[in-house]
Structures are given as C-alpha cells and as structure tokens.
C-alpha cells in the first residue's frame, strides 16, 4: 500500500506548457506515472510529451478523469489555479510554486475544506510512491519501494535522506515533501496519521527544520498516538536568530522555533533524533528490524 497516491492515481499538470511543467511532466511519465492531462489557458488541443492540453481544469476533468492536480503556475496566478483545481473536483492538489503571498494562501486554505480537497505545499517538491506514482519534482531514480515512510519540510534533505535509506537497502512506501512556507497544506500530523494506518509502512523518517512549531506538535502526536517507530532529523542548529533560512517558514524568533528546542521536544517524547541523514537511515533501519522481531 501507500499514502495519498498510488499506481491508480491520474495526474493533471497545471502549467504543463511552461518550461518547468513540461520538463517535470516528462520525468513523471518516464517514471511510470499516469499523467493524463495538462492545463494552460489558450493551448487547448495541443499536446506536451503526448499529453493532451486543455484550457481549464474543468474542461480537462470533463474529458479525462483526473484525481491529482500538480501546479507549476507562477505565484501571481497560483491562488486562482488552486481554486480552479478544487472547484473542478480534484481531491489532491500538489502546489510546487514558491513565493505565493501569505494572504493568497490563507484564502486558499479557507476554501479547500469546502471542496473536501487536500493540499501538499506550496513551495514543496511534491510526493512520490516509488515505482507507482510521482507527483512533483522528486528524482524518482533515488527511490525504491519498501517499508519506510518519509515526511519532510525540506526538499533537498528529503533527497539526501532517501538516498541514504536506499543505499542502506531500506525502501520507501511514500515520501511527502510538505513544503516550508508558513501557511501550507498537509503537515506532519496528517502524514503521520496516514502512515500509522498504512499496512505497508513499518517506520517513519521525520525531517524538520527551524521555524514554527510543527515539529513540537508532531512530537506530542507521536507520543500519544503512534505505535510505529519514528526517527527524526532537524536541520538548522547553526541558524542565526531572526534570519530566514531558505523557506519562508524557516525563521527563528527569539528562543522559539530553534533546532535545539525542536530536538528537545522530540527527544522528550521518546523520539530518537539523528545527528545526520546517514544516522537517521541507520536508526530507522534498526527500529524497523526491532519492530519485525517483536
């Protein structure tokens, strides 16, 4: 099994005629993902990498069934693209776009529950269920199917941790890059709930970074609700206070949101915190082996 996407998922790419949208649509197709349609206003009737293009998500859904929308639309138009996907009935929306204004995302997050739509992102690498479906920009060649769930605020660290897991022979069930913006869709707790219910997932790698309190809230949830082992890694121990580090949400305010406070909260909940991605892979592999023998 997996969470959120699998080989039955049908992916629609908003912004497919753009450079990034077309490039990653090709990579997803090469990995075996079922990319069924693209959307760019004014380009109806064209094809990209053999994928038919429509003027709107509503038009695409009317002609070709899709259940996942992947958004590569520039930030000034991303809000409208997110509304369009939800209003057309898409239930899982993955927004790669970065730099979307906070007010726009606040409006989007108020609207999506009305349409019963879930959001990954924005400013994220997407998600992948190895050998089944890739919805985003993750390099599928470093992944392998297996029992480790991965959820991360950092795209680059996701790739590094997954590479270490794969090199250690530890495959992945699904990897979710939730993004690092201050206002975002699915977070650690939602993914942990899904991994806990997934029969295939036997352990979870949680990758955090400075800013906000997502990791602290995840620590409480793991302590109170998780039966499967979780191993964490938190980036940003050397980040200076008051300076944003990469992501819009990765900023330390005073003593709040530091890597040290996040690590302390996780360890207080009984969650091992690795000092490096390679150590995370080793600790998670050992935890999964222990689980199988008990």
The token duo for 201 is 């997932």
Sign of the C-alpha dihedral computed for residues 69, 75, 77 and 79 taken in this order: positive
Whether the predicted model's global pTM rises above the 0.75 cut: yes
Cβ contact 212:182 at 8 Å: yes
Confidence bin at 243 (pLDDT 50/70/90):
low
Residue 230's pLDDT is what?
98
* Residue 1: burial class (beta carbons within 10 Å; 0-12, 13-18, 19+): exposed
SS3 assignment for 40-52: CCCCCCCEECCEE
Phi/psi at 65 (5° precision): -65, 130
Look at residue 254 and tell me whether its pLDDT is greater than 50.
Answer: no
Residue 251's pLDDT is what?
46
Going by C-beta distance under 8 Å and a sequence separation of 6 or more, which residues neighbour residue 261?
Answer: 216, 255
Look at residue 122 and tell me whether its pLDDT is greater than 80.
Answer: yes
Of the listed ranges 62-66, 72-76, 208-212, the least confidently predicted one is: 208-212
Query: How far apart are the C-alpha atoms of 209 and 180, rounded to whole Å?
Result: 9
Half-sphere exposure (Cβ direction) of 265: Cα atoms closer than 13 Å: 20
Look at residue 78 and tell me whether its pLDDT is greater than 60.
Answer: yes
Look at residue 212 and tell me whether its pLDDT is greater than 90.
Answer: no
Confidence bin at 249 (pLDDT 50/70/90):
very low
Mean pLDDT, rounded, for 109-122: 97
Query: How far apart are the C-alpha atoms of 122 and 180, rounded to whole Å?
Result: 8
Residue 256's pLDDT is what?
54
**How many other CB atoms are there within 10 angstroms of residue 255's CB atom?**
9
Look at residue 265 and tell me whether its pLDDT is greater than 80.
Answer: yes
Mean of all residue pLDDT scores within the chain: 93
Residue 247's pLDDT is what?
47
Cβ contact 179:122 at 8 Å: yes
Residue 257's pLDDT is what?
75
* Residue 243: burial class (beta carbons within 10 Å; 0-12, 13-18, 19+): exposed
Q: Which residues are catalytic?
A: 247
Q: Can you state the percent helix, strand and coil of the chain, rounding each to 5?
A: 40, 20, 40
Look at residue 42 and tell me whether its pLDDT is greater than 90.
Answer: yes
E strands, the chain, in order: 11-14, 35-39, 47-48, 51-54, 68-71, 92-95, 118-120, 126-129, 133-136, 145-152, 172-177, 203-209, 230-235
Write down all domains in the chain, each with its CATH number in brackets: 11-120 (3.40.50.720), 143-293 (3.40.50.261)
Look at residue 253 and tell me whether its pLDDT is greater than 60.
Answer: no
Confidence bin at 245 (pLDDT 50/70/90):
low
Q: pLDDT by residue (tens digit) across 142-186?
A: 999 999 999 999 889 999 999 999 999 999 999 999 998 889 999
Going by C-beta distance under 8 Å and a sequence separation of 6 or more, which residues neighbour residue 19?
Answer: none
- CA distances 180 to 69, 113, 119, 142, 209, Å, are 20, 21, 13, 22, 9
């Amino acid at each position: 099994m997996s969470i959120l996407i699998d080989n039955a998922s049908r992916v629609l790419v908003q912004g497919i005629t753009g450079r990034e949208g077309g490039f990653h649509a090709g990579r997803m197709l090469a990995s075996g993902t079922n990319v069924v349609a693209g959307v760019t206003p004014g380009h109806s009737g064209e094809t990209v990498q053999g994928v038919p293009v429509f003027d709107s998500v509503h038009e695409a859904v009317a002609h070709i069934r899709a259940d996942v929308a992947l958004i590569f639309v520039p930030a000034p138009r991303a809000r409208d693209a997110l509304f369009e996907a939800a209003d057309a009935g898409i239930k899982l929306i993955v927004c790669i776009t970065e730099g979307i204004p906070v007010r726009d995302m606040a409006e989007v997050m108020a609207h999506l529950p009305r349409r019963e739509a879930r959001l990954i992102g924005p400013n994220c690498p997407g998600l992948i269920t190895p050998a089944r479906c890739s919805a985003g920009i993750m390099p599928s060649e470093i992944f392998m199917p297996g029992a480790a769930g991965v959820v991360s605020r950092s795209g680059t660290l996701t790739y590094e941790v997954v590479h270490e897991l794969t090199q250690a022979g530890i495959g992945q069930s699904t990897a979710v890059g939730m993004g690092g913006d201050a206002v975002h869709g699915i977070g650690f707790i939602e993914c942990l709930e899904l991994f806990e219910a997934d029969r295939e997932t036997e352990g979870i790698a949680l990758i955090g970074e400075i800013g906000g309190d997502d990791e602290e809230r995840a620590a409480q949830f793991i302590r109170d609700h998780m039966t499967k082992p979780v191993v964490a890694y938190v980036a940003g121990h050397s980040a200076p206070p008051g300076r944003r580090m990469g992501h819009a949400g990765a900023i330390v305010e005073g003593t709040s949101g530091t890597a040290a406070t996040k690590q302390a909260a996780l360890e207080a909940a009984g969650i091992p915190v690795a000092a490096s991605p390679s150590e995370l892979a080793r600790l998670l592999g050992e935890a999964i082996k222990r689980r199988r023998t008990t």
